[in-house]
Chains A and B, each alone.
Chain A
Amino acid sequence: MNEKIKTIINDATAVVSLVKSLRELNDARVKFLGRNGEITNLLKLLKDVPNEEKPTMGKRLNDVRVSIETMLKEAEDKLSLIEAKERVKGETLDVTLSKKGGKAYPQGALNPLTLIKNEITDIFTGLGFSVLEGPEIEFEHYNFTALNIPKDHPSRDSSDTFYINDKLLLRTQTSATQVHTLEKGELPIRIISPGKTYRPDDDATHSPMFQQIEGLVVDEHITLADLQGLLLEFAKSFFSKDTKIRFRPSHFPFTEPSVEVDLSCPACGGTACRICKNTGWLELLGAGVVNPAVLEYSGIDSKKYTGIAFGMGVERASMVKYGIPDMRLLFENDIRILKQFK
């Protein structure tokens, strides 16, 4: 019996030391510890051992079993580690390879004009502005008359305005929404109004359909200085914090005084370059103090309330911001162009 035990230990040590894989290890386990394994077979022989030796022999056999188990466990741990390492090695991928191109519909993109509109909207909503939209087909009353645009003003000409009939037209400016807001008479007013507008122009810097964002503030004691402050904040947020703005006198019938607002050229920072035609400035938007006639037209007491308004072209802002050379590119709907705005 003792001899057999010794042989088993030696055999087990030899077998386990030669085991190469977890599978071979399992075979070894079956061979020694399995139901018909060698330890089990020895346990079966225990019944022939004299009674007084049985406890000692039994204990010995058990110790042998434990030591073989330990041996197997150690071997298993070692082999698992090796096999895991090999598996990982086998699963190694080329991380520089990309399968992105194989995807039918990868991430799309918002239109650059939407991005610009969102950015502008976010700046003004942060300053307490609400967002309001109006109809694109508008009455000439709202588009012109109520904005103090005289009957014989050239902008009413059919060469400058698309007409549906005598009264209805495609709005030429989002300012028409101003009047709807003023008419409601809920003061104070602080709105921006983005939307599509239409004029019969079609070239590199004009599109017959374009988008504007109109801003209107009506409150007690709003001044031209407030307009300057507001637009300066906007320009700094939209472009960069060292952006400067410049007011130049201009003319819009619905504002008085009216100004053209220039922006220090974002490309050169105002030192003069090709983009700003060496002037250091880029024209950004039109603005002014709301003409009291416009307020009175909508029944607002212009002695008590004053207002400021501004209107900017979204296409123009996006061309300046993204450096887009031709407005028509914005209407190409070519995904190669749109992809740039992911």
Chain B
Amino acid sequence: MLVPIKWLKEFVDLNLTPKELGDKLVSAGFEVERIKDLSLDITNVQIGRIISIAKHPNADKLVICKMDMGDRELQIITGATNVSEGDIVPVALDGAHLPCGKDIKAGAIRGEKSEGMLCGGEELGLTENDYAGAGCDGILILDKSAKIGENINEHLGLNDFVLDISITANRMEAHSVYAIAREVSAVTGAQLKPLNLNFTASKSHEVSSAVSVANAEPKLCPRYMGALVKNIKLSQSPAIIKNRLRAVGVRPINNIVDITNYVLFEVGQPLHAFDLSTIKGEKIVVRRAKKSEKITALDGKTYVLSKENLLIANEKEGMAIAGVMGGKNYSVTETTKDIVLESARFARDNVRATSKALNLRSDSSQRFERGVDFSSQEVGLKRALALIHEFGFGEIGGGILDDFQNKPNEKIIKFSGADIEYILGVKIEDADIIKILNFLQIPVKQSGKAFTVIVPPFREDIFGVNDIAEELIRIYGYEKITPTLLKSAGTLKGGKNSEQKTNDKIKNFLVGKGAYEILTYSFVSPKIYDMLLLPEDSPLRNAIVISNPLGEDYSVMRTTLSAGMIKALAKNSPKTCRLFEVAKVFLPVFDKKGYPTETNTLVIGSLGEESFYSFKEIIEDLCEVLRIEGISYEKHMISYMHEGRCAKIMLGGETCLGYFGEVSLASAEKFGLDKRVYVAEINYEILLARAKDFGGFKVQSKYPAIERDLALICDNELPASEILSASKRGGGGLVQSVEIFDVYTGDQVPAGKKSVAIRFVFQSDKKTLTDNEAVYFTNNILKELNKIGATLR
């Protein structure tokens, strides 16, 4: 919301600098994003009068002007032909900067000195609509009221500051200069001056005899008001209106349109002027558009409407897209004689939907989208009529149309000073409560300790005592609160639960393994399915789809974290790195309440000096650290994994905890990788649930251990896990540990076979084992190994 300070001053006396005013508004809840000094666009341009014009001795097309600058005379050379002696013109002096980008220097032109430049309208950023005469090709001849010697900014109303205020969504009424003036009055203690709403209506023309309103959609148009103005005199607006409109970024057009815009900014009410002669059947009909009904709007484009769009129509056809834009053939033109001024309230969501559907925005639609309160239709209409009356733009017809079918009930709030203190934790004296509410024009009555507030219609955001508390504290001052630390609350235990602690432990463990934690978007492109080479019937392709994504690349909720991980690895390639992420995957499997399945998942990735086994070690160590027992690994196949280098992580032989392996080159290539990378994806929720804090203390055996190595030969396909479990079976509980320390295939062993070197440690808790016992159990182990096809080499 742009608020020129001069406009504010019409309603409230101000002695603050723009910065001081801005600070006060910020503390009252109006964030001032910028303070613009309008005078900075044009610098060092003064108003002067041409005393005389003489021919340039050395140039046919140039003339020498002698200028009266008030306190001095100047000589300026110009090539313009539209100037004559006595004209009052803008003079850019030495060092002037113009909005067109020109910087002016004094100097000599063809041997004659020129102490500046006479400016044209365009050079000052003005069009004909901004200033009469500005559109001509030549020098801008100022009107006779311009004061010689004055800075041009004074004359153009640019000696002003404009506050750019961001308004919170609840304060719909504050999108107006007058509402900001009310706030300024509250924060400065200066009285708010009333808006001039006075006009004299003609007795001979009644609006009701010219036109009537039939509102078929009171929900979409809760209030529709109209007034008649006869015999309008279409012209340019007076300077004050033009200057103020320009200050808020609106181009002046003509006096009638300008008045509607002026009221939009001053009071916050959009108005629209219909040419009375175009209202066929003398009836304004508020209705939904018919399917495919067309209307050509003021922007010259034809829009195809739907039943969702509200129309302001005459008996035959639509005359305006309600709240968005008027129709081309029904608005004010040069030939317009009488007008009907519309001042309505349209439902903000409907205006927003229509504006969006038609891709058509206007100051009016933006204003309606923010919400217009019920009081401003009347205030806005009367203010426009008062301005038309004041400037003599037309004759005001008698009476006002007002279709207001469902008037909202008056809101009454009762409270006491203690109630306010209970919310704020600071006591505001009764006298201050009354004073603040009075400034905000919120009517309040006091009876003993009880206050009664009748919420004014322009404050639709106020519902209850909490809202009153906010109104009070924002003016009273938050800095007057003494901070307390949950003064009345008891002590609570709080803290992280065990799963949250385990989460921290896992992340720290992975960091210790050299992994960096990454962060990728939850929404992905469906293209990743193909990059992961997922088969057409893969359940991972069945994702939750976002109906309004930012683009196809962010259109589905991911069902796997692997793609994001491989992408991140590719991004860092060829740098050696380990990465991890804990995030959710989403599946369209819905619970009783209707929530889809969100599963916290851990993904680990690695690139560089990694092998399948070194990568597996991360998972093995993780399970060890979390004391998860019963982990086993099974060969696994996944579309994007190397067929021979992928494993499923099994828990207790039944639950699948996840999988890991080497990404197949075919898939890696799709991500732009030409390196071997490893990825593990693990169900984090099972991991957290099964993690144990501590497994229980075990006293270590004090008797010596015996180590034995065996070299075995077996089929290549025999998994290591079976060799290890057979060894444990044969060990009679005395095998402290067993490990495979070498696997060999090649010339020394027959084809299809492998040599496996295995080391046992025997140890008893009860006694020192003898050599004989070691031999006995070694033989037992060999027997078990023979059963699975492993023999001594």
Contact B467 A256 (CB under 8 A): yes
Contact B481 A168 (CB under 8 A): no
Q: Which residues of chain A (97-150) have a CB below 8 Å from chain B?
A: 103-111, 113-114, 118, 121, 124-131, 135-137, 139
Interface centre among A108, A137, A332 (most CB of B within 10 A): A108
The contact of B507 among A110, A157, A260, by CB within 8 Å, is A110
Contact A209 B522 (CB under 8 A): yes
Q: How far is the CA of A331 from the CA of B564 in the complex (A)?
A: 11
B408: CB under 8 A from chain A? no
CB distance from B521 to the nearest CB of A (A): 5
The contact of B492 among A111, A128, A306, A334, by CB within 8 Å, is A128
Contact B514 A224 (CB under 8 A): no
- B426-469 CB contact bits vs A (8 Å, 1 = yes)? 10000000000000000000000000000000000101101101
CB distance from A330 to the nearest CB of B (A): 7
B412: CB under 8 A from chain A? no
Q: Which residues of A contact B500 (CB under 8 A)?
A: 131
CB distance from A232 to the nearest CB of B (A): 5
CB distance from A110 to the nearest CB of B (A): 5
Contact A259 B466 (CB under 8 A): no
Q: How far is the CA of A151 from the CA of B349 in the complex (A)?
A: 9
Contact B545 A164 (CB under 8 A): yes
B478: CB under 8 A from chain A? yes
The contact of B568 among A230, A247, A333, by CB within 8 Å, is A333
A152's closest neighbor in chain B, by CB?
A: B349
B28: CB under 8 A from chain A? yes
Contact A111 B423 (CB under 8 A): no
Contact B596 A137 (CB under 8 A): yes
Q: How far is the CA of A62 from the CA of B505 in the complex (A)?
A: 70
Q: Which residues of chain B (156-191) have a CB below 8 Å from chain A?
A: 168-171
Contact A250 B548 (CB under 8 A): no
Question: A52-60, A68-76, A215-223: which one contacts chain B?
Answer: A215-223
Contact B466 A338 (CB under 8 A): no
- A193-227 CB contact bits vs B (8 Å, 1 = yes)? 00010101010000011000000010111111110
Q: Which residues of B contact A334 (CB under 8 A)?
A: 571-572
Q: Which residues of A contact B492 (CB under 8 A)?
A: 128-130, 188, 190
Q: How far is the CA of A256 from the CA of B598 in the complex (A)?
A: 33
B511: CB under 8 A from chain A? yes
Question: B289-297, B577-585, B781-789: which one contacts chain A?
Answer: B577-585
B515's closest neighbor in chain A, by CB?
A: A108
Q: Which residues of chain B (400-418) have a CB below 8 Å from chain A?
A: none
Q: How far is the CA of A250 from the CA of B492 in the complex (A)?
A: 30
Q: How far is the CA of A104 from the CA of B618 in the complex (A)?
A: 14
Q: Which residues of A contact B356 (CB under 8 A)?
A: 159
Q: Which residues of B contact A198 (CB under 8 A)?
A: 522-523
CB distance from B74 to the nearest CB of A (A): 40
B470: CB under 8 A from chain A? yes
Query: Given the known A-B contacts A111-B517, A248-B26, A338-B518, are A257 and B493 also in contact in the complex, defined by CB atoms under 8 Å?
Result: no
Contact B547 A335 (CB under 8 A): no
Query: Given the known A-B contacts A121-B496, A222-B486, A223-B424, are A108 and B170 also in contact in the complex, defined by CB atoms under 8 Å?
Result: no
The contact of B547 among A107, A131, A155, A164, by CB within 8 Å, is A164
Contact A292 B487 (CB under 8 A): no
Contact A188 B519 (CB under 8 A): no
Q: Which residues of chain A (78-110) have a CB below 8 Å from chain B?
A: 103-110
Q: Which residues of A contact B464 (CB under 8 A)?
A: 256, 292-293
Q: Which residues of A contact B321 (CB under 8 A)?
A: none
Q: Which residues of B contact A251 (CB under 8 A)?
A: 29, 168-171, 461
Q: Which residues of A contact B483 (CB under 8 A)?
A: 225, 228-229, 232
Q: How far is the CA of A154 from the CA of B167 in the complex (A)?
A: 14
Question: B240-248, B527-535, B549-557: which one contacts chain A?
Answer: B549-557
Q: Which residues of B contact A253 (CB under 8 A)?
A: 170
CB distance from B502 to the nearest CB of A (A): 13
Contact B496 A125 (CB under 8 A): yes
Contact A137 B557 (CB under 8 A): yes
Contact B29 A106 (CB under 8 A): no
Interface residue tally on A, bucketed by range: 35 or more
CB distance from B668 to the nearest CB of A (A): 17
Q: How far is the CA of A224 from the CA of B466 in the complex (A)?
A: 11
Q: Which residues of B contact A157 (CB under 8 A)?
A: 352
Contact A162 B549 (CB under 8 A): yes
Q: How far is the CA of A159 from the CA of B583 in the complex (A)?
A: 25
Interface residue tally on B, bucketed by range: 35 or more
Query: Given the known A-B contacts A130-B494, A198-B522, are A154 and B352 also in contact in the complex, defined by CB atoms under 8 Å?
Result: yes
Q: How far is the CA of A257 from the CA of B467 in the complex (A)?
A: 6
Interface centre among B474, B491, B512 (most CB of A within 10 A): B474
CB distance from A341 to the nearest CB of B (A): 9
Query: Given the known A-B contacts A188-B489, A229-B484, A251-B171, are A114 and B473 also in contact in the complex, defined by CB atoms under 8 Å?
Result: no
A201's closest neighbor in chain B, by CB?
A: B550
A308's closest neighbor in chain B, by CB?
A: B486
Q: Which residues of A contact B488 (CB under 8 A)?
A: 219-222, 226
Contact B511 A118 (CB under 8 A): no
B111: CB under 8 A from chain A? no
- B538-574 CB contact bits vs A (8 Å, 1 = yes)? 0000001111111000100100000000001001100
Query: Given the known A-B contacts A109-B517, A223-B424, A250-B29, are A136 and B495 also in contact in the complex, defined by CB atoms under 8 Å?
Result: no
Contact B578 A224 (CB under 8 A): no
Contact B550 A107 (CB under 8 A): no
A246: CB under 8 A from chain B? yes
A249: CB under 8 A from chain B? yes
B490: CB under 8 A from chain A? yes
Contact B497 A257 (CB under 8 A): no
Q: Which residues of B contact A155 (CB under 8 A)?
A: 169
Contact B609 A104 (CB under 8 A): yes
CB distance from A236 to the nearest CB of B (A): 11
Q: How far is the CA of A90 from the CA of B568 in the complex (A)?
A: 47
Contact B495 A109 (CB under 8 A): no
CB distance from A20 to the nearest CB of B (A): 42
Query: Given the known A-B contacts A198-B522, A251-B169, are A338 and B425 also in contact in the complex, defined by CB atoms under 8 Å?
Result: no
A285: CB under 8 A from chain B? no
Q: How far is the CA of A197 from the CA of B777 in the complex (A)?
A: 61
B595: CB under 8 A from chain A? yes
Interface centre among B463, B485, B579 (most CB of A within 10 A): B485
- A307-319 CB contact bits vs B (8 Å, 1 = yes)? 0000000000000
CB distance from B524 to the nearest CB of A (A): 11
The contact of B478 among A137, A230, A246, A333, by CB within 8 Å, is A246
Q: How far is the CA of A190 from the CA of B473 in the complex (A)?
A: 25
Q: How far is the CA of A222 from the CA of B485 in the complex (A)?
A: 10
B348: CB under 8 A from chain A? yes
Contact A289 B512 (CB under 8 A): no
Q: How far is the CA of A339 from the CA of B518 in the complex (A)?
A: 11
Contact B466 A292 (CB under 8 A): yes
B742: CB under 8 A from chain A? no
Q: Which residues of B contact A229 (CB under 8 A)?
A: 483-487
Contact B513 A224 (CB under 8 A): no
Interface centre among A103, A188, A209, A335 (most CB of B within 10 A): A335
Query: Given the known A-B contacts A135-B598, A249-B29, are A129 and B519 also in contact in the complex, defined by CB atoms under 8 Å?
Result: no
A154's closest neighbor in chain B, by CB?
A: B169
Q: Which residues of B contact A257 (CB under 8 A)?
A: 423-424, 466, 469-470, 473-474
Query: Given the known A-B contacts A114-B517, A151-B349, A223-B422, are A136 and B598 also in contact in the complex, defined by CB atoms under 8 Å?
Result: yes
Contact B519 A113 (CB under 8 A): yes
Contact A225 B484 (CB under 8 A): yes
A158: CB under 8 A from chain B? yes
Contacts A/B (CB < 8 Å), 24 sampled: A108-B513, A111-B516, A125-B495, A129-B492, A131-B500, A137-B586, A159-B356, A162-B548, A164-B544, A164-B546, A190-B489, A209-B521, A221-B488, A223-B424, A224-B473, A224-B481, A228-B483, A232-B483, A248-B27, A248-B29, A249-B473, A257-B473, A333-B519, A335-B577
Binding site for A on B (CB under 8 A): 26-29, 31, 168-171, 347-349, 352, 356, 369, 422-426, 461, 463-464, 466-467, 469-470, 473-474, 478-479, 481-497, 500, 504, 507-508, 510-523, 544-550, 554, 557, 568, 571-572, 575-580, 583-584, 586, 594-596, 598, 606, 608-610
